[in-house]
Structure 1
Amino acid sequence: MKRISLYTTMIGFAVLSSLSSCLKDESQPDFTKNQAVIELPIGSSAANGGGNSIAAAFTVDQTPSDYFVYVNYAAPEAAAQNVTVTLKVDTSAVTKFNTVNGTTYAQMPANGYTLAGNTVVIPTGQRLVKFPIKINTINLDPLKTYALPITISDGGGFTVSGNFGTLVSIITLKNKWDGVYTVTGTMLDTQNSALTGQYPRTLKLVTQGPNTVAIQDGDSFAHGILNAGAGSSYGSFSPVFTIDNTNSTITSAINYYGQPASNGRSARLDASGVNKFTMSADGKTPVSMKVKYILVQNGDRTFFDETWTYTGSR
């Protein structure tokens, strides 16, 4: 019995010793000893080595648009001193990103952005600050998708993150009439009475240039109609409207698929319509659009008379 008691006691000491060893953090990380890392934390990664990216869209305007990326002091405690971080536009990051992801984003030209400087200070007691950038949309092509790569070139004495040291901003442009609309109105096909209008309907106007937009239905450049009461659309037909920037008057309509398209369909503005956008008081956001246009195929075939009410951005 004494041997059993002694054996049991020895096992108990062993277990306690093992628990004590765990409590001394033999297997758990001690976060209090982590070294500070400087990073650009916002963005998503495809985990393929191409780098982190974030998407941003801007409306074309004479006035440059405000944009920023976050710079973070990653550590258990906030910065105990001012940390000056140096950043740069790193064109090599775009080449790498495109190569790895199979994309063809254009490097944003030098006149497409303005940096207030190349440094940002993380103040004592803080972690996260903004690095401000101006996007000069008027100098950019709305038909292109741009990449603006920002890289930390100096962490102010601290380690620069290997995974979050570069952020590629993928930038697209929209003109001020671009957006999602609820469309009501009438449609008359003079050649096929089975084809009728499908209203109300949610449609989009999608930027094609600084002052042009095309009708998009779902993910297709088209306009939903009814064929004997069933959902349909005219093949290879989507009006592209040109708008006067000074007063938001629609000056013309052509077919997105060609004028005419391969099936002989063209678009033409009906001069009897109001053909104009009503804009917000500051002139930057559409309220509604009234427009008449015609599908031309072997003459003036289909007449549209519509009101588009803006519901939000795409």
Structure 2
Amino acid sequence: MKLSFKIAGLFVMAAAFSSCLKDDITLDPDKSTNVIEFKNPSSFVSPSGSTYSMYSKSFDLAPEADYAITVSYSGAQVAPEDITVTLGVDTAAVTQYNAEQEEAFDVMEPNLYTIPATVVIPKGQRTSQVLIKVKPSQFDFAKNYVLPIQIKSASSGIVSGNFGTILLALKAKNIYDATYESTGYVYHPTAPRAVHAEKHMETVSPTTVKVELGDLGGSGYFANVTVDPKTNKVTITPAAGAAGAPYTQFDTALPTPYTPQWDNASKANNTYDPATKTFYLRYGYMGGNGWRVTEEILVRH
């Protein structure tokens, strides 16, 4: 009796394991079944275990941009004939991803992209490229766009259960969005210190980027830095949900009782130099026992 229970248990485990595998898997590559799927197109951003894989891509703020992705006949064999792959979008995939991951991504509106209806993987080949056209200058910066591209069908072969639909998180980036080298100083009543780090300034709007305040990003301190393209003067405000708000910028001098503590303090006048792609910042917030002020010069890599 005990033996029969053990055998039954093994069958249940085996069935459960096989049900988790969407695509046919074999230990012998020469006997594996090919599947038609999307190859990883860019940076992978979805967490492990997601039903759908998400990839992130940013575009310069231009009227139109191309995004090339690849459809693959994946496995041991090449395509035995021309395979016509029909493409489309699966908006339900975004709804499911949002529910699973507690996110709030927006399905990209059809007027913002163009995808071909079909693509052909030629006989004897393994891949074919799909050219997606997007319109970054028309993106709404208040939205988190996702394009859920799907292989709807194929003239022959098996469509992958794992990568037959992928989610493309697409963003537009302004001219200030980049990685910068930050050098400066944090004025603090009890913990003054120098700052030297690499920082990414991330697009918020066509003229605004988000950046870590001093060295306090790990504690939730982030600022929105907005450039006036006509004057190159900078306005600094707390980023959405940032700690320590409100923030105050000091264009001409440090607040009392501070005095300059590094060589380039006088340059931190809240401006942007487009010729050198450099930000000169001085701003801070009031803490329980006085001002905390960051002066820094950020030079684009």
Decide: shared fold, TM above 0.5: yes
Shift of 1:119: 0.8
Matching residue's letter, 1:107:
V
Query: What percentage of aligned pairs have identical amino acids?
Result: 26
1:187–1:78: structure 2 CA closer, same or farther, 3 Å change rule? closer
In the other structure, the counterpart of 1:244 is 228
Contact 1:213/1:241, CA 8 A, preserved across alignment: yes
Give me the whole-angstrom Cα distance separating, in 2, the residues matched to 1:107 and 1:252. 32
Shift of 1:87: 0.4
Give me the whole-angstrom Cα distance separating, in 1, the residues matched to 2:202 and 2:184. 20
Contact 1:60/1:210, CA 8 A, preserved across alignment: no
Q: Which sits farther off after the overlay, 29-38 or 81-90?
A: 29-38
Matching residue's letter, 1:121:
V
1:244–1:96: structure 2 CA closer, same or farther, 3 Å change rule? same
1:274–1:128: structure 2 CA closer, same or farther, 3 Å change rule? same
1:185–1:95: structure 2 CA closer, same or farther, 3 Å change rule? closer
Contact 2:53/2:163, CA 8 A, preserved across alignment: no
In the other structure, the counterpart of 2:9 is none
Shift of 1:164: 2.5
Give me the whole-angstrom Cα distance separating, in 1, the residues matched to 2:238 and 2:47. 37
SS at match of 2:137: helix
Contact 2:149/2:166, CA 8 A, preserved across alignment: yes
1:295–1:278: structure 2 CA closer, same or farther, 3 Å change rule? same
In the other structure, the counterpart of 1:199 is 195
Matching residue's letter, 2:247:
S
Structure label with greater radius of gyration = 1
1:238–1:163: structure 2 CA closer, same or farther, 3 Å change rule? closer
1:33–1:55: structure 2 CA closer, same or farther, 3 Å change rule? closer
Matching residue's letter, 1:310:
R
Contact 1:253/1:293, CA 8 A, preserved across alignment: no
Contact 2:185/2:294, CA 8 A, preserved across alignment: yes
Give me the whole-angstrom Cα distance separating, in 2, the residues matched to 1:265 and 1:243. 19
**Aligned with 1:223 (options 214, 217, 228):** 214
SS at match of 1:164: coil
SS at match of 2:58: strand
Shift of 1:237: 5.7
Aligned residues: 255
In the other structure, the counterpart of 2:20 is none
In the other structure, the counterpart of 1:289 is 278
In the other structure, the counterpart of 1:136 is 135
In the other structure, the counterpart of 1:227 is none
Q: Which sits farther off after the overlay, 160-169 or 270-279?
A: 270-279
Listed as ranges, the gaps of 5+ residues in structure 1 are 1-27, 217-221, 225-231, 280-286
- 1:268 and 2:279 correspond: no
Give me the whole-angstrom Cα distance separating, in 2, the residues matched to 1:29 and 1:269. 65
1:40–1:63: structure 2 CA closer, same or farther, 3 Å change rule? same
Aligned-residue RMSD, C-alpha:
3.7
Matching residue's letter, 2:297:
T
Shift of 1:96: 2.2
TM normalised by structure 1 equals 0.66
1:302–1:162: structure 2 CA closer, same or farther, 3 Å change rule? closer
Question: Which whole-Å deviations, capped at 9, do the CAs of 1:49-70 have from their partners, x for residues lacking one?
Answer: x533132221341232221321
Contact 1:236/1:265, CA 8 A, preserved across alignment: no
1:195–1:131: structure 2 CA closer, same or farther, 3 Å change rule? same
Contact 1:237/1:265, CA 8 A, preserved across alignment: no
Q: Which sits farther off after the overlay, 174-183 or 194-203?
A: 194-203
In the other structure, the counterpart of 1:38 is 36
1:245–1:152: structure 2 CA closer, same or farther, 3 Å change rule? farther
TM normalised by structure 2 equals 0.68
